[in-house]
Amino acid sequence: MRKIIFALTLSLGLAGCVTNSDGSVTLFPVVKNPVTATSLYDIKASYVIAQAGADVYIQRYRDGKRCTKTKPESVTNICSRRSIVVKMRNADSKAQIALGRVDAFIRDNPTLDATSVIYAAQSAVAAFYQIQQGTQP
Number of domains comprising the chain = 2
Model pLDDT, residue 20: 56
- Binned at pLDDT 50, 70 and 90, residue 8 comes out as very low
Stated as kind and residue range, the H or E segment containing 26 is strand 25-26
User: In whole angstroms, how far apart are CA 119 and each of 43, 63, 91, 125?
Assistant: 10, 36, 16, 10
Same domain, 14 and 69: no
The number of CA neighbours under 13 Å toward the Cβ of 65 is 13
pLDDT digits (tens, 9 = 90+) for 78-101: 888 888 889 888 888 988 888 888
Same domain, 39 and 70: yes
pLDDT digits (tens, 9 = 90+) for 33-77: 666 667 778 888 888 888 888 888 889 889 988 888 888 877 788
* Residue with more model confidence, 99 or 113: 99
Same domain, 21 and 86: no
Query: What's the whole-number mean pLDDT along residues 91-117?
Result: 82
Nearest CA to 118 among 53, 44, 30?
44
**Does the pLDDT of residue 10 top 50, yes or no?**
no
Same domain, 53 and 99: yes
- Give, in degrees to the nearest 5, the angle at Cα 80 between 75 and 81: 115
Nearest CA to 54 among 85, 90, 97, 16?
85
Same domain, 7 and 37: no
Model pLDDT, residue 22: 60
CA distance 65 to 68: 10
Domain hosting 25: range is 1-30
How many residues comprise the chain?
Answer: 137
* Residue with more model confidence, 38 or 127: 127
pTM above 0.75, yes or no: no
